[in-house]
Amino acid sequence: MSQKFKPKKILAAVDGSESSMKAAETAARIASDTGAELTILHVLELPVMSMTGEFYVPVDKLEAEARREAEQLTSKLRSMAVDLGATAVSDIVESDGSVVGTIARYAEDAKFDLIVAGTRGLGGFKRLILGSVAAGIVHYAHCSVLIVR
């Protein structure tokens, strides 16, 4: 007889897309139902250029704005999770050049049992490829992965 999968630590990887918002809600519901600890993670992709066309854009201002938006997003999702009855925290980490690698290493280092992510993220050509980040997480994660539409 097989045992039910009951995660103790759940990681919800979010980027603000509709798909990741649904993933965070699903992760919160699972955490609430199972008593698991939930961490809502946003990987901050810092700008690599300070020039856009003819205009100079200060990198520190771009970074500050990206971090502020990430803090608003994770705070909102953490509150939603708590409202659903989950024990939740949030974290923002800087990408090491690969969002997938950053998520996979974070999950492995902190010994998560389950990663929950959305099928599609926000913009960018590389993300037009069907679920490239989601597929990467499935491929490289050390633990179970739930992909939410």
pTM metric for this prediction: 0.87
Three-state DSSP string of the chain:
CCCCCCCCEEEEEECCCHHHHHHHHHHHHHHHHHCCEEEEEEEECCCCCCEECCEECCHHHHHHHHHHHHHHHHHHHHHHHHHCCCEEEEEEEECCCCHHHHHHHHHHHCCCCEEEEECCCCCCHHHCCCCHHHHHHHHHCCCEEEEEC
**Residues 119-135 pLDDT 10s:** 876 555 444 444 688 99
**Residues 16-44 pLDDT 10s:** 999 999 999 999 999 999 999 999 999 99
